[in-house]
């Protein structure tokens, strides 16, 4: 057991829990406050919150692990899509969704296409986000088992449940404000670690040479072109199709704040990938990849090698912070889907706010237990699992959403065909593995696009009312 | 904003720029040229990070300018 690291981690987790409890009262004062923090977050808090929600365990451990295991161009491909997430989302959907006045992605689908599309979309959100818990739980288990000196399985269970409890208690208020701290910790931690690595090797050029000496394929494109393209697509679309990131956008005070938050969060994310490059090179230069039981552990090894126990403790706290904030945002998306979009919408319209919030709590617990159970035996590298989630959501939601905003003629039948067709095609490709790793959306997303267009054109157009609503998504940039 | 002017929407124009930059990287894909021991295809992807941020900044300023003109 690493005593100093454990103490710092414990102080951190207790601090976060206190913040969670402090915001509980505020969160439970109204349903809107619980889900979107009363829409009153300013642009700096919003930028860190958006950044922390995106900079998941995968951005840190996964990207570094994949950069060392599969060559640094793989990490660059990860950032190639990931740094573009926020600009791409802003360009195509965020202003329009905000103007539509809805609070969740499935609500938008209901407004635009009707009830059946909403129900299908909730199902996809719940499946996607529940699987997305797996890489988060895997990462927390790896850190926990190293720091606490306990079994990986025990660490997954303890940390997973702790994180759930805290998310469930505070809703978006707690998540947004603790994200401010977590976002800062990730950024400073990565900066300090990168600086230490550079200092020890005497600059970037010497560091890369050391990495190449220990791992000759470090600079190579080791995977088929399709893998890099697929990874790029899956991450590029993540902001558009990920319900948790979109929900963050609604928590900003107004449209201007939302845009500025996204712009600054993009810069923070860019920096993380630049630091990640240095950290991955430091990891490769250690030459220990083949000795690790799990290749995602390389990041932990870099921290251990280059940092003192105090700094390492802070860094592990930053990593766990990243995991917690991402997992929390996902849990919130899952519980919003089931409690608000299904229970209140179709099962009990008269349900009180308290009942809806309580059901959300139970849903969170169930989803995290499923995530924990799968994470006990993780099926792939963290970066690949996250790529699958992005690819699945892109293949099902991407085009029905974008066409729903930009094309008046898109209708319910087209959206349903696009969503189900894309999702099913994606799952077939993941199971049968006919192509390179994470290349599934290259086929499944165009299938969804074609189905949405062809089926929409083959069936009757949406009503005049819906068509004029589509126009209103694009009217008056300030009126939100 | 009328539907026939959507092609002039800043979001659509910047999306087209983003797609062109991505296509340039993915079509050229110079895996056999190396700089500092790392494939140029990798460096090209790395260099897009700053382009993506600049596109985000351009979008924010563009929309704010548009808002000012509308007032």
Best of A43, A50, A90, A468 to mutate (most B CBs within 10 Å, chain B): A90
Q: Measured between CB atoms, which of A91, A228, A267 is closest to B53?
A: A267
Q: Worst-scoring range by mean pLDDT, A54-58, A156-160, A163-167? A: A54-58
Closest partner CB to A270 (pick from B31, B45, B49): B49
Q: Which of A79, A99, A219 to mutate to test the interface with B (most CBs of B within 10 A)?
A: A219
> Is A205 in contact with B53 (Cβ distance < 8 A)?
no
Lowest mean pLDDT among A31-45, A108-122, A202-216: A31-45
- Partners of A219 on chain B (C-beta within 8 Å) are 34, 36-39, 42
> What is the pLDDT at residue A15?
78
A175 or B39, greater pLDDT: B39
* Contact present, A111 and A469 (Cβ < 8 Å): yes
* pLDDT band at residue A68 using 50, 70 and 90 as cut-offs: very high
Residue A217, Cα to own-chain centre: how many angstroms? 29
Which residues 36-65 in chain B show a CB within 8 A of chain A?
A: 36-39, 41-43, 45-46, 48-50, 52-53, 55-57, 59-60, 63-64
Query: Is pLDDT larger for residue B51 or for residue A334?
Result: B51
Residue whose C-alpha is closest to residue A55's, from A87, A83, A88 = A83
pLDDT band of A199, cuts 50, 70, 90: very high
pLDDT, mean over chain B:
91
A175 versus A291: the higher-pLDDT residue is A291
Give a yes or no: residue A249 inside a domain: yes
Q: A100 CA to chain B: closest CA distance, Å? A: 15
Quote the pLDDT of residue A343.
87
Nearest to A31 by CA among A361, A354, A362: A354
Give A87 or A348, the one with higher predicted confidence.
Answer: A87
Determine whether the interchain pair A273/B49 forms a contact, defined as Cβ–Cβ distance below 8 Å.
yes
Domain segments of chain B: what residues? 3-70
- Best of B38, B57, B59, B70 to disrupt the A interface (most A CBs within 10 Å) is B38
Please name the member of B11, B39, B66 whose beta carbon is closest to the beta carbon of A73.
Answer: B39
Chain B residue numbers with beta carbons less than 8 Å from the beta carbon of A267 are 53
Does residue A324 or residue A200 have the better pLDDT?
Answer: A200
Considering only alpha carbons, which residue of chain A is nearest residue B23? Answer: A229
Closest chain B residue to the Cα of A229, Cα to Cα: B26
Distance, CA of A254 to CA of B6 (rounded, Å)? 23
pLDDT of residue A179: 65
Q: Smallest Cβ distance to A263: which of B14, B57, B67?
A: B57
CA distance A64 to chain B (A): 14
Q: What is the mean pLDDT of chain A?
A: 84
pLDDT for residue B1: 44
Q: Give B39's strand partners.
A: B34
Lowest mean pLDDT among A37-46, A177-186, A233-242, A260-269: A37-46
Per-residue pLDDT at B2: 45
Any A CB within 8 A of B28 CB: no
Which token pair is A142? 């790896």
Q: Give the model's pLDDT for residue A1.
A: 66
Grouping H, G, I as helix, E, B as strand and the rest as coil, residue A29 is: coil
Q: Taking Cα atoms as reference points, which of A363, A361, A356 lies closest to residue A340?
A: A356
- The secondary structure of A281-343 as a DSSP string is HHHHHHT-GGG-SSGGGHHHHHHHHHS-HHHHHHHHHHHHHHHHHHHHHHHHHHHIIIIIIII
pLDDT of residue A425: 95
Query: Is some CB atom of chain B closer than 8 A to the CB atom of A238?
Result: no
Per-residue pLDDT, A112: 94
Residue A315: which pLDDT band, with cuts at 50, 70 and 90?
Answer: confident
Structure confidence by residue, pLDDT tens digits, A228-283? 999 999 889 888 887 655 555 555 667 888 888 889 999 999 999 999 999 999 99
Segments forming the whole domain that contains residue A228: 3-381
CA distance A83 to chain B (A): 6
**Average of pLDDT values for A129-135?**
87
Does B49 sit within 8 Å of A87, measured CB to CB?
no
- Cα separation, A233 vs A221, in Å, equals 17
Residue A183 pLDDT greater than 90, yes or no: no
Chain B contact set for A274 (CB, 8 A): 49
DSSP per-residue codes, B6-49: GGG-HHHHHHHHHHHHHHHHHHH--TT-EETTEEHHHHHHHHHH
CB contact under 8 A, A209 and B42: no
CATH number (domain holding residue A316): 1.20.1730.10
Domains: count for chain A: 1
Separation in Å, CA of A262 to nearest CA in chain B: 8
- Contact between A477 and B9 using a beta-carbon 8 Å cutoff: no
> Distance (Å) from the C-alpha of residue A480 to the closest C-alpha of chain B?
12
pLDDT digits (tens, 9 = 90+) for A338-396: 888 888 888 888 888 788 888 888 888 888 899 999 998 887 778 888 889 889 999 99
- As a whole number of angstroms, the distance between CA A143 and CA A382 comes to 13
Nearest by CB: B31 against A221, A232, A262? A221
Q: Is the pLDDT of residue A24 over 80?
A: no
Residue A480 has a pLDDT of 36
Distance from CA of B20 to the nearest CA of A (A): 13
The answer to whether the Cβ–Cβ distance between A474 and B1 falls below 8 Å is yes
Q: What is the pLDDT of residue B36?
A: 94
Count interface pairs A-B at CB distance under 8 A: 126
């Amino acid at each position: 057991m690493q005593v100093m690291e454990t103490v710092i981690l414990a102080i951190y987790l207790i601090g976060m829990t206190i913040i969670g409890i402090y915001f509980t009262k505020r969160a439970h004062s109204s349903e809107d406050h619980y889900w979107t923090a009363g829409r009153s977050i300013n642009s700096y808090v919003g930028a860190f919150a958006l950044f922390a929600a995106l900079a998941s365990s995968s951005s840190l451990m996964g990207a570094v692990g994949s950069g060392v295991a599969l060559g640094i161009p793989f990490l660059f491909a990860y950032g190639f899509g990931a740094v573009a997430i926020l600009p791409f989302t802003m360009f195509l959907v965020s202003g329009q969704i905000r103007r539509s006045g809805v609070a969740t992605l499935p609500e938008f689908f209901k407004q635009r296409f009707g009830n059946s599309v909403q129900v299908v979309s909730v199902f996809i959100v719940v499946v996607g986000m529940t699987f997305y818990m797996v890489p988060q739980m895997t990462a927390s288990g790896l850190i926990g088992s190293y720091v606490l000196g306990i079994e990986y399985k025990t660490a997954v269970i303890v940390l997973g449940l702790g994180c759930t409890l805290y998310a469930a208690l505070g809703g978006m208020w707690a998540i947004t404000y603790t994200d401010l701290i977590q976002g800062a910790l990730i950024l400073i931690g990565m900066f300090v670690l990168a600086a230490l690595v550079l200092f020890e090797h005497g600059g970037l050029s010497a560091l890369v040479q050391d990495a190449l000496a220990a791992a000759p394929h470090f600079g190579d494109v080791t995977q088929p072109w399709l893998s890099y393209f697929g990874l790029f697509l899956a991450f590029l679309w993540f902001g558009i199709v990920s319900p948790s990131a979109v929900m963050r956008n609604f928590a900003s005070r107004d449209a201007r704040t939302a845009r500025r938050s996204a712009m600054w969060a993009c810069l923070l994310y860019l920096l993380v990938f630049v630091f990640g490059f240095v950290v991955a090179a430091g990891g490769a230069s250690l030459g220990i990849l083949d000795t690790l039981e799990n290749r995602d552990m390389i990041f932990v090894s870099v921290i251990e090698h280059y940092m003192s126990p105090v700094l390492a403790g802070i860094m592990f706290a930053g990593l766990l912070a990243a995991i917690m904030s991402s997992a929390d945002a996902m849990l919130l998306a899952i519980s919003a889907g089931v409690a608000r979009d299904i229970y209140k919408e179709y099962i009990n319209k008269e349900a009180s706010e308290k009942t809806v919030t309580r059901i959300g709590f139970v849903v969170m617990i169930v989803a995290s237990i499923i995530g924990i159970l799968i994470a006990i035996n993780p099926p792939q590298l963290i970066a690949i699992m996250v790529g699958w989630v992005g690819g699945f959501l892109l293949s099902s939601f991407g085009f029905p959403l974008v066409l729903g905003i930009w094309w008046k003629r898109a209708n319910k039948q087209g959206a349903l065909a696009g969503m189900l067709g894309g999702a099913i095609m994606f799952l077939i490709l993941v199971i049968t593995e006919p192509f390179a790793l994470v290349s599934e959306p290259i086929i499944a997303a165009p299938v969804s696009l074609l189905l949405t267009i062809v089926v929409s054109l083959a069936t009757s157009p949406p009503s005049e009312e819906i068509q004029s609503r589509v126009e209103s998504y694009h009217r008056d940039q300030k009126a939100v | 904003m009328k539907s026939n002017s959507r092609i002039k929407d800043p979001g659509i124009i910047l999306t087209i720029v983003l797609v062109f930059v991505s296509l340039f990287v993915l079509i050229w894909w110079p895996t056999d040229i190396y700089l500092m021991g790392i494939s140029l295809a990798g460096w090209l992807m790395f260099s897009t990070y700053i382009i993506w941020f600049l596109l985000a900044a351009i979008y924010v300023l563009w929309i704010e300018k548009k808002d000012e003109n509308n007032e």
